[in-house]
A and B are shown apart, each in its own frame.
Chain A
Amino acid sequence: MGIQPELRLQMYETMLRIRRFEEETAALFAAGDLPGFVHLSIGQEAVPTGICAALDPADTITATHRGHGHILAKGADMGRMMAELMGKRTGYCAGKGGSMHISSLDLGVLGANGILGAGQPIAVGAALSARLLGEERISVTFFGEGASAQGGVHEAMNLAAVWKLPVVFVAEINGWAELSPYSDHVSVPSLVDRAAGYGIDAASVDGTDVEAVLDGAREAVERCRSGEGPVLLEARTQRWHGHFEGDRQLYRPEGEVAALPELYDPLVLQSDRLLELGIASEAELDAIERRVAEEVAEAVLFGRNSPESAPEDALLHVYSTDGRGGAA
């Protein structure tokens, strides 16, 4: 199946939205305007963008601690995300989650997760309920090489395989697990090598190329929708920033980080393609750039102007009922 020009352009815009959101987040964090800590996905924009472009609105995802891109690609509002990063009442989680725990049940975002390898069993459950309730949706779960060492990921793949559930396991391999390299965490060249052990289908795609990701995602999604069971899709990508903002990445070989934008920029790859194929002109790309810049500026403004959560709101949302047949 070919990729429609509109979608090619739209994916470029989605990647740009993620990039500019993350850059703004980095700037705000550096200026001391964001509490806590943040994990940015700059350089990895093609993965969530290509995956989510293959999904229906009802499909669910679980995101990682580096999850802003996943959530934006699933359709999140930038303003409410920024408000959540600022701990404001208007944020997706009313300021209770922060960067690492953004969820939007309405968008099918079951949550970013601060625990490596926790989202994968949850994603299996989302697929299980779809089958039980007779709903058509499939379940997608993002994780990295760090989480791949977690038992929960293994159990999730085994469960999904044994129960033949529609789960796409997206291994977003950026070369690093926190502060140490892939080879410290994984003994095989590719996570695809593990799939045979579960009896599931697997493929690896270039995670810098959004269209390669989309192709791989479409195939995986199609397989899931037709009831053939789970798929493992590995997307090899690059992490430009540190594990968290403030991590200077002194553990990486000298010059490696500086060279990444030149070698692996998913935005440049896609914009070059759009120009070359005549799908967009420089002027049109500039217009997208301006539109996204405006969206980011508005998101920051929305966040800044949003009311703080009341301290006593900390007492809300522990339970949804009173345990006696009534609401909490």
Chain B
Amino acid sequence: MKYYAAIREALRCELERDPRVFFMGEDVGKPGGIYAQSRGLQEEFGVERVRDTPAGELGFMGAAVGAALTGARPVVEISFADFIPVCLDQLVNQAAKIRYMSGGQARVPLTVVTFGGAGRNAGPQHSGSYEALLGSIPGLRVVMPSTPYDVQGFLKAAIRDDDPTIVILNKALLGLADDSEAGVEPIPFGEAAVRREGEDVTIVAWSAMVHTALEAADRLAAEDGVSAEVIDLRSIQPLDGETIGASARKTGRVVTVQETVSFAGIGAEVAAEVSRRAFGWLDAPVQIVGPPFTPVPFSKLMEEFVLPDAGSIVRAVREIL
């Protein structure tokens, strides 16, 4: 199944399973989504449950929060992750804090699906991911599936969970296919996946960078005879420190790679976990590979320049070998 189709599959499954679930966003209904990720769902489930919204992320995100508070289970699509800041109050001050502020009375079973990631020449306002920002908000959960299987599993888990969860999908992966079929079970949050086992170095990545890391691992094996372990974080909040620590103790070397700038980023959290759990086993300092401290530029040449690729990962690994 392809990545974009896994979105549709998970939505269809959950809409069918629970009448309290509804899906809304800009152009997700009749048009079926800009990536065909919800094509046919409005015909199948009706306009009340697969709803086109006016542009106005703050308003419809707030409406989703209110609906979640009063018995419904909304799934909201924010077409580009860069539009999350438009509705940030409803996520940060409302969805994330309402249960806490209410002393545990309230539940906010809200799922936000959004498309992040660079590499498609979408320009500075359509290429960000914001996982570090969102992952630092108590009350929110953040997952970033890198495969169609994980898209299905995490979306289902998010929709069935009673807390607000943000599922950041990656535009660059929409056409990616794996051998998953319909019927993937929900995946628990907070469990990283070892995508490739190795002995000499651990490469930690998430979302699209997992595939770049796997490419780098292939090159390291072929060109340097280095055996790299690749860990896909999958879940940003909560973070699976245990899997990171175990791998670091095994290999003694860790490189993290991310699409977003490294300052106050998730790579720094990974480094902290490694330091806490594997300090005595380390043979080299943790390397954080990420773009320079700039927005994502539009021009293809400049975008390629700032984004990490397999080459930059290979170079970082060679530096600590």
Contact = CB atoms under 8 A, between A and B. Distances in A.
Interface stretch (A112-120, A178-186, A243-251): A112-120
B58 A152 contact: yes
Nearest to A103: B102
A103 B66 contact: no
Interface in B48-99: 48-49, 53-54, 56, 58-72, 74, 89-90, 93-94, 98-99
Given A155-B59, A319-B163, A132 B102 contact: no
B72 A320 contact: no
Nearest to A328: B163
B59 A110 contact: no
Interface centre among B72, B102, B162 (most CB of A within 10 A): B102
B141 A323 contact: yes
Interface-central residue, A96, A114, A130, A131, by most chain B CB under 10 Å: A96
Interface stretch (B5-13, B104-112, B114-122, B193-201): B104-112
Closest 4 CB pairs of A and B: A121-B62, A125-B66, A155-B59, A94-B103
Given A120-B62, A125-B67, A128-B66, A323 B161 contact: yes
Nearest to B68: A125
6 contacts: A96-B102, A101-B101, A122-B65, A128-B63, A156-B62, A323-B189
A139 B188 CA distance: 35
A93 to B, nearest CB: 4
B315 interface: no
B190 interface: yes
Interface in A61-112: 62, 91-97, 101, 103-106, 110-111
Nearest to A122: B66
B69 A152 contact: no
A93 B102 contact: yes
A30 to B, nearest CB: 26
B104 A317 contact: yes
B4 interface: no
A131 B69 contact: no
A124 interface: yes
Given A94-B103, A122-B63, A155-B56, A324 B189 contact: yes
B123 interface: no
Nearest to B66: A125
B103 A91 contact: yes
A129 interface: yes
A108 to B, nearest CB: 9
Contacts of B61: 121
B139 interface: yes
Contacts of B67: 125-126, 128-129, 132
A159 B59 contact: yes
A19 B81 CA distance: 46
A121 B60 contact: yes
Contacts of B66: 62, 110, 121-129, 139
B40 interface: no
A152 B163 contact: no
Given A93-B101, A103-B106, A318-B99, 13 more contacts: A96-B102, A103-B102, A120-B62, A121-B63, A124-B63, A125-B64, A126-B66, A128-B72, A129-B70, A132-B22, A154-B59, A323-B238, A324-B188
A92 B94 CA distance: 18
A320 B94 contact: no
B190 A323 contact: yes
B20 interface: yes
A162 B47 CA distance: 13
A120 B61 CA distance: 11
B265 interface: no
A259 interface: no
Contacts of B157: 323
Interface string A125-144: 11111111101000100000
A3 interface: no
A219 B199 CA distance: 73
B35 interface: no
Nearest to B94: A118
A325 interface: yes
B22 A323 contact: no
B295 interface: no
A111 B103 CA distance: 12
B127 to A, nearest CB: 24
A306 B163 CA distance: 30
Given A60-B70, A152-B58, A96 B189 contact: no
A110 B67 CA distance: 11
Contact of B188 (A128, A130, A151, A325): A325
A208 to B, nearest CB: 30
Contacts of A128: 63, 66-67, 72
Contacts of A121: 58-63, 65-66, 90
